[in-house]
Amino acid sequence: QALLCKYPVMANFAKQLNISSLANMDELGWEVIDYHERLILNDTLCVTHGEAIAPESGAGGMKEMKTRMMSGVSGHSHRASITTLRNEQGSFTWCEAGHLASDAVSQEYTHEKITNWQKAIVAMEWDGKDWWPQLLMVKDGRIVYNGRIFR
């Protein structure tokens, strides 16, 4: 903030230093959703940072799903899982999306040598009726999606 006051020309530069512009998301047709915003897609899928936490993978996702009674994706726990629930209200699936931080950052953040976090991303496909989640684990900086390895 002080730097921007002292050097006003930096304000325009600072506006460009965001994930959307750095990753050319506009050109890809992607939209960045604010950290605290929940996105509801087709009235059936909640995409959110999340609020629930639990010590094991899947337990936080189950809490999120039971709270919202809909399918969804969250990343709050930094764990990777796909959890399902079927009850009188329907069938639901919740994905905990893991994280993409380095091990050093994870350890520094938690002050622990080993965290129960998993590196992963979630791919969701919509067929016009249902969502189909795929949990893509990151191993040595690589993921496999549709039979292809990405680095």
The answer to whether 55 and 78 have CB atoms below 8 angstroms apart is no
Give the C-alpha separation, 59 to 66, whole Å: 11
- In the three-class reduction of DSSP (H, G, I as helix; E, B as strand; rest coil), residue 132 is classed as strand
pTM of the model: 0.77
H or E element that contains 117: none
Per-residue model confidence as pLDDT tens digits over 53-73: 888 999 999 999 999 999 999
Give the C-alpha separation, 85 to 94, whole Å: 9
Per-residue model confidence as pLDDT tens digits over 104-125: 888 888 887 788 889 999 999 9
